[in-house]
Homo-oligomer: A and B are copies of this chain.
Amino acid sequence: MVEARNNDTRERILDAAERLFMAHGYEGTSMRQITGEAGVNLAAVNYHFGSKETLIQEVFRRRLDWLNEERLRVLDELEREAAGQPLKPSQIVDAFFGTMLRMAEDESRGGMTFLRLLGRTLAEPSEFIRGFLAHEYKTVVDRYKEALFKALPDVPKAEIVWRFHFMLGATSYAIAGTDALRLVTDWQIEPEDSVDRLDRLLPRLMSFLIGGLRAQLPQFPDAAVDR
Contact = CB atoms under 8 A, between A and B. Distances in A.
A163 interface: yes
B206 A133 contact: no
Interface string A171-203: 111101011111110110100010000011001
Given A203-B221, A212-B208, A28 B178 contact: no
A108 B141 CA distance: 38
A204 B159 contact: yes
In the complex, which range does the number of interface residues on chain A fall in? 35 or more
* A interface secondary structure, majority: helix
Interface in A1-41: 24-25, 27-28
Contact of A125 (B180, B219, B221): B180
Contacts of A134: 180-182, 186
So how many copies of this chain end up in the complex? 2
B178 A199 contact: no
A40 to B, nearest CB: 24
A39 to B, nearest CB: 24
A106 interface: no
8 residue pairs, one from A and one from B, having the closest CB atoms: A211-B215, A169-B173, A123-B123, A203-B218, A27-B27, A212-B212, A170-B170, A124-B124
Given A163-B204, A207-B215, 19 more contacts: A25-B124, A120-B124, A122-B178, A130-B178, A133-B181, A134-B180, A141-B182, A158-B187, A158-B189, A161-B184, A165-B183, A165-B184, A166-B204, A170-B212, A203-B218, A203-B220, A203-B221, A207-B216, A212-B215
Interface of A: 24-25, 27-28, 119-126, 130, 133-134, 137-138, 141, 145, 158-159, 161-174, 176, 178-184, 186-187, 189, 193, 199-200, 203-222
